[in-house]
Each structure stands twice: as structure tokens, then as C-alpha cells.
Structure 1
């Protein structure tokens, strides 16, 4: 059965596995996951489980938000996501009641998961940094603007999909088929092998891999 949980990325460290090999891991704090809503075909047109994490002050939320979380008898949440899986995968979270807390021990060491987060924002960037374009020649009569965009060709006003300078980062990124190295149920921590998207303290979504390699 497929399952999922929300968390906040705390940073990276390293541990040793049973064979004594050093393994780099990312630590994710998965505490205070609360089921806010169970969506059904009759009411919503599809089946999903809405989960929220990280309390925020009541005065920072509007009345619809307050009314929504009141049904789960909890505080307004900063990060809310839905877990919607295919019928073939199933959804282990459907057994949870509204207001019930999801613990990190629904996962175990060795599980294969997909992790989704928001990548680091890097501001405005040129095509060399953004798309790894080569710079223009430095000599032989070429202008002094060595890092400018080269010829755009016969575009005739059509720039859709053209690789141009612009905002870099702050995009939704999913890394697939990552392995859970360890689960600390006492401190509500999940240690994932390797790196995951986003900066420290960024929110991530951990769920059962859709393309798990057996």
C-alpha cells in the first residue's frame, strides 16, 4: 500500500551502515502531521487524503482556514498537501481519521520513496548559469559582451520555450527512488540516503515511489 508524510528538511549528515560503509543522509523532521480532510468521490470527485504540518498563529490565517482545521481539532497549518495514489497502488492513509496524527514509523529503513520539494531560489540568472550555455569568444573582433545571449535565429516574435535569461530556482523538484536509511520514531525523524530538494528548513513531501526499482 502507498503511503506518505510531510516534513521539514533539517540538513545533511552521515551515518555508518551495517557493513561499516559511510552513508550521506538528509534528516527530515516529520513531527505533527495531522489529517485535515478525507476526500471522497461522492463529495470531491476523487479520493485523496489532505495532510497538514507546522502550526501557525491563528491571527495569520483567515476564517476559512480556521474553520477548515477546526473540523480536525487542530491549529492552522503552514504546509498542506494531498496524497492521491492510483487504485493499483492503494492508499494506506485512507485508514486514518480526520484529526489523527501520522507518525513517521509508517515508513521503515529500506523503503523506496519519492521526495518532492522546492529548489533553492537563485534570483535572476543569465543563460550561462541557467542553462550551461557557452560564452562568446573573447577575442578576434567579438564584442565585449561575452556572456550575452547568442543569435536567437528567425524567431518572428515566437519565443515560447526559448532558453533566455530569467528567474532561476524556486521550482518544484521531485527526486525518485530514494532509499530511507533510518527511521527515528522517538524523535520523529526520517533519514534519507543522499540529498533531497530544497534549502534547510524547507518543506518536503515523502511518499511511496511510483517507479520503485525492485
Structure 2
């Protein structure tokens, strides 16, 4: 499936054709460079490797420098592989070719967005799982408002069963949102505006694919 790498700029809103105000995310998508083309004869599958974002040469390994040199490009920060390109995108699969957002998507397309959600740290069950807490402050419940409550039987099992929803680390996970519509494409600024929210903080890396 074809796709492109981008950077989340932030959110805005646009008015749809029926006058409805649509919340949208603005993403700087590309331009990306094709750094490797894989085929079934040598690699066992078809894929195109794209690179995005500048990186200092002193912070790049010699092996990576040689890899980018083959594509006649400068060191890049993000590398993503897109597998199984359809025949209509064969022209993109050329080593060293620059891939821009308007060559992949058009306005009205439904796409998927992949990003890393914001990290929330160690959170309790109320924020992490939506628990209600134990209850009111009557009958001695003065410090139990956000507690998880009972965790199981006492004599039998005598332990907390694995898989129970408890407090723990929240966020900082890979999240994929599907069927987000492309509202607008600004090729001069390499921007794409898609409906809805996209996981991740501002300036975080986002992968867009059909």
C-alpha cells in the first residue's frame, strides 16, 4: 500500500460543503526520498523504503551514510517501508526519487494515520480505564474515591488474577486510526489536511497510508 511520512503540525478547523465545521489535523507530509526498492527476486517481496527529515552527518553511522549515498541523498531521520505497491505507483519506486504528497493522495481519499500517542506516565484506574472509584464519602470512605476497589476472592486463588485492569503506564503507544478523509492538499507547502485527530504531540512523526 502506498504512503508517505510526515510531521504533525497541529490542528485547525475548516467548513465543509454543507457548512459544517470539521476539526482537522495539519501534517507536513514529505517530501520523502526513495532510499531502497525491494522486489520479489532479491528480497522475496515488493516494497519501497522512504526516508524523511534531515539528520546531521556526525550523528549518522557509517553504514547508514553508505545507504543514503546509494540514493544520492543526505542523511535522514525517519525511515519507513511501504509494502506491496500497486501498479499505478510503479513510477514512484525508483531509487533516489523524491516523493511528494500530491503524487500519493488526492482530496477526498480515505487514509490511515499511524503515530505514537502522548505519554501519560503512571496513572491510576480512574484515568487509565475510566473507573468510577469506590463511591461516596459516607460509611468511612473518606480516602477511597479513586481506589480500584475489590480485586477478587481471598481464600481461593489468594492472588490477583493476571490481566486485571489496574494502574500502570499509560500512553506512548503506537496507534493507528483508519478512514480519515483528506480534506485539502497544499502542494506548495507540502501540507495535507485530514479530518479528525491524529495520535501524537506536535512535531511528532506520522505515517500516512492508503
Q: TM-score, normalised by structure 1?
A: 0.86
| Aligned residue number for residue 86 of structure 2 | 90
Give the gaps of 5 or more residues in structure 2.
none
2: CA distance, partners of 1:62 / 1:53: 17
| Aligned residue number for residue 24 of structure 2 | 25
2: CA distance, partners of 1:153 / 1:39: 53
Alignment of 1:60-209 (within 5 A): 60-85=59-84, 90=86, 92-95=88-91, 96-106=93-103, 107-137=105-135, 138-142=137-141, 144-153=143-152, 160-208=162-210
Deviations along 1:24-50, one digit per CA (max 9) or x if unpaired, are 221110133111111222332322111
2: CA distance, partners of 1:34 / 1:195: 26
Give the gaps of 5 or more residues in structure 1.
209-214
- Does the residue aligned with 1:204 lie in a helix, a strand or coil? strand
Please state how far the C-alpha of 1:18 moved relative to its aligned partner.
4.0
| Aligned residue number for residue 12 of structure 1 | 11
| Aligned residue number for residue 212 of structure 1 | none
Please state how far the C-alpha of 1:178 moved relative to its aligned partner.
0.7
Moved more, 171-180 or 56-65: 56-65
Deviations along 1:90-110, one digit per CA (max 9) or x if unpaired, are 365443211111011021110
1: CA distance, partners of 2:101 / 2:152: 53
The 8 Å contact of residues 133 and 144 in structure 2, kept in 1 or not, is answered as no
| Aligned residue number for residue 50 of structure 1 | 49
The 8 Å contact of residues 4 and 93 in structure 1, kept in 2 or not, is answered as no
Give the greater-gyration-radius structure (CA).
2
Tell me the matched-pair count: 204
Deviations along 1:150-203, one digit per CA (max 9) or x if unpaired, are 222256667543212111111111111110001111111111012111111111
Please state how far the C-alpha of 1:136 moved relative to its aligned partner.
1.4
